[in-house]
Structure 1
Amino acid sequence: MKLEDQIAAHRGGLSPAETRVADFLLANPHSVGHLSALKLAAASGTSDATVVRTVHKLGFAGLDELREHLAAELSQAGRLQATVRAFGDGVVSRHVAACTGALTSLPERLSDEELAAALDVLAHAGRVVIVGFGPARHIASYTAQYLARGGVPSLAIGMTGRGFADQVIGLAAGDAAVLLSYDTPSEEVEVFYTRAGQLGVPVVQVTESRLVADPRAAVALGVGRGNPAYSPSHVPTLAVLEALADAVVATDPDRSARAAATLAELREMLS
C-alpha cells in the first residue's frame, strides 16, 4: 500500500500533532531518508516522540521500515509504474494538469527571499556555471544558452566519472554555480562542492526540498520534481531557471542589448 493510502486509512486515529507529522511525510517523502526523528520533528513542529508514535500508527515498525517502504515507492521503476497507471489511458490533459499543479505550488515551496538570494549570487558572478547530470544535463545546457543570449558568460557541465574532472578543472574564482541535485549526492556532486569550496565559488542548489540540500550550498531552492508518486518532472526546474536567467539578464540592460545586437548580426550572416 502506498504511503498516501496508509495515511488516509489511519488519519482518523491521529491526533492533531500526529496529523502534522503525517502531512509532512506526505508532502516531503524524499526528506524521510535524510532526516532523523529529531529533525523530522523540528520540520513538522512536533516532537521526536510524536514522530515515532505517528510512524507506528501508520503501520510501520519504525523509521527504518518507513524509509525502506518509501525507497521502493519512490524508485524510478515504482514511479514509472505509477505514472503509467495514472496516465496510461491516453488522457494527456491529465498529465498537463499534473505539471500545472507542480508549477502553481512553487510559491509555497520557494520564498521571495530565497529567490532574491539566488539572484544576488548569480548577478554578481563573472560567469555562471550550470551543473546537471543525466536528464538534468540537457536542462543545464539549455539554461547556459539562455543566459548567453542575454550576454551573461555561462557554461554547462555534467559529465560523469573521470571525465567530470576535465570539466571541473575549468571552474574559476569569480564564478557562481547552479547545481541541479535532487536526491542523495553523487560522487560528482561531492567533487564539485569540494572544488567550489576551494575556489570560493558560491553554489545555488536546485533540489527536491531545502531539507535535503547540501549545507555547503549558498542558497537552496526546494523546487521539487512534481508529484513524488510519479515519474520526475523537470517542469518546475525549467520555470525557475528561466525566471532566474531573465532576472540576471535584466540586471545589466546595456549588456543584454549588446548581446541581442550581436546575435542579430550573426543570424543575418547565416541567412
Structure 2
Amino acid sequence: MSPLVKIRSERDQMSAVERRIADFILENAHLLRDYSSQQLANALGISQSSVVKFTQKLGFKGYPDLKYSVGEAIARADNGDAPAMERAGSGQEEGPGALWRRKSEAEEATRLINPPEVIDTIAAAIEQAGRAGKVFIIGLGEDDIYARNFALRLSLLGILTVHNFDTARMTANVSAAGAGDVLLVFSEHGNHPALCKIARYFRERRGQVITVTRHTANPLRTLADIQLLVSAHDERPYIQPLLYQSALQHLLDCVFVLLCESHDDRHAQLLANLERIQLMLEP
C-alpha cells in the first residue's frame, strides 16, 4: 500500500500532533526527500521523537524508511504508474480536475478502511432482515439525505424499510423491532445523544445495529455491531463535505449493488418497481 494512501486513510484516527505531521507530508510529499526528521520537527514546531513515533505507528522502521517509501510513490506518480491517490501532495497547482482527484482520494481511503468482507456482511444482514423482518433507517439533518435515499433503494428491492428523521417517532418504531431486524444509523460525527439512545434501545430489542460515521472515535461507533466508516479530509470547509458525501455515496452504492446481485428475485423486484414508477410518472 502506498504510504500516502495509508496516511490519508488513517488520518482521522490520529492525534492532533500526528495530524499535523500527516498533513505536512501529504501536502509536501515531493519535498520530503530534502527533510531530515529533525528538520521536519523544526518546521512543525514539535519534537523529533514525535516524528519518529509517527513513522513507527504507521508500520515503518523509522523516518528514513518512510521517506524512501514516499519517494518511490512520487516517482511512480511522475511516471504515470500510480493512481491519483498517490499523486497527492505532488506540488501541482489546483486546477479544473482537482476536485475529481480529491474525491478519488477520499473514496480510495474509504475503501481501504472498509474491507470487502465488511461490505458483504452488511449486505447479508440487510438481506436477511428483508426476508424475515424489517430494516430501520435514521439520519438527522444532512445525514437524512443519504438515509432517505438508501431507504428508497431498499424499498425498490422489496425490502420492508422503516425510515424516519424524527428521533421520537423512531423510538416508537423501534419498540416493534425484534431479533433479526437491522437498524442503520447515519451520523457523520456519531455524537448525537438521541441516536445513541435509539441504538441502545434497538440492541435491547436484540436487533443488529449498523452505524455509518466518519473514521473517528465516537460514541455511536461503540454501540455498533457492524461499522461503515468514511475517511474524507480537506482543510477547506467547502470541500470537505463534498469529499465526505462522495465517499459515503460510493460505500452505499457498493452495498446496494451487492443486494441487487445477491438474488434474482431482488433484481426482478427492482425492475418491476422501476417500471411501475415510470408508468405513474407518464402523463
* TM-score (normalised: structure 1): 0.64
Say if 2:268 is the partner of 1:264.
no
Matched, 1:20 2:26: no
Q: How does 1:54-203 map to 2 (within 5 A)?
A: 91-125=95-129, 126-159=133-166, 164-171=167-174, 172-173=177-178, 174-203=180-209
Deviation of 1:221 (Å): 2.1
Q: Which amino acid aligns with 1:106?
A: T
Q: Which residue of 1 aligns with 2:7?
A: none
In 1, Cα distance between equivalents of 2:120 and 2:275: 31
Q: Cα deviation per residue 1:37-77 (whole Å; 9 max; x = unaligned)?
A: xxxxxxx89xxxxxxxxxxxxxxxxxxxxxxxxxxxxxxxx
User: Would the alpha carbon gap of residues 207 and 7 (structure 1) be closer, same or farther in structure 2, given more than 3 Å must change?
Assistant: farther
Give the 3 Å change call, closer, same or farther, for CA 255–210 of structure 1 in structure 2.
Answer: same
Distance 2:41 2:140 in 1: 34
**Match in the other structure for 2:248:** 237
Q: Which runs of 4+ in 1 moved over 4 A?
A: 5-8, 89-92
Write the letter of the residue equivalent to 1:235: S
The 2-side partners of 1:264 and 1:248 are apart by: 19
Matched to 1:192, the amino acid is I
Distance 1:250 1:128, change over 3 A: farther
For normalisation by structure 2, the TM-score amounts to 0.61
CA contact (8 A) 2:190 2:213 kept: no
Aligned-pair distance for 1:247? 1.3
- Aligned-CA RMSD value: 3.3
Distance 2:198 2:97 in 1: 39
Query: Could you tell me how far apart the structure 2 residues matched to 1:95 and 1:203 are?
Result: 33
CA distance in 2, matches of 1:137, 1:7: 42
Q: 1:249 to 1:177 in 2, by over 3 A?
A: farther
Paired positions, count: 204
Deviation at residue 270 of structure 1 after TM alignment: 3.8
For 2:256 and 2:103, the matched residues in 1 are separated by 21
Contact 1:122–1:177 (Cα < 8 Å) also in 2: no
Aligned equivalents of 1:214 and 1:238: distance in 2?
19
Cα distance, 1:244 vs structure 2: 0.6
Q: Per the alignment, in what secondary structure is the counterpart of residue 173 of structure 2?
A: coil
Q: In 2 relative to 1, CA 130–94 (structure 1 residues): closer, same or farther, beyond 3 Å?
A: same
Give the corresponding residue for 2:85: none
1:246 is the counterpart of 2:249: no
Residue aligned with 1:169, SS = helix
Whether the 8 Å CA contact 2:126–2:182 is kept in 1: the answer is yes
- For the residue of structure 2 that corresponds to 1:200, the secondary structure is coil
- Separation in 2, partners of 1:112, 1:268: 37
User: Does the C-alpha gap of structure 1 residues 146 and 13 become closer, same or farther in structure 2, counting only changes over 3 Å?
Assistant: same
**Structure 2: gaps of 5 or more residues:** 1-16, 25-39, 61-92
CA pair 197-95 structure 1, distance change in 2 beyond 3 A: same
**Residues 96 and 266 from structure 1, CA distance in 2 versus in 1: closer, same or farther, beyond 3 angstroms?**
closer
Aligned amino acid, residue 229 of structure 2: G
Identity %: 17
Residues 152, 249 of structure 1: 8 Å contact kept: no
Instruction: Tell me the distance in 1 between the aligned counterparts of 2:190 and 2:154.
Output: 28
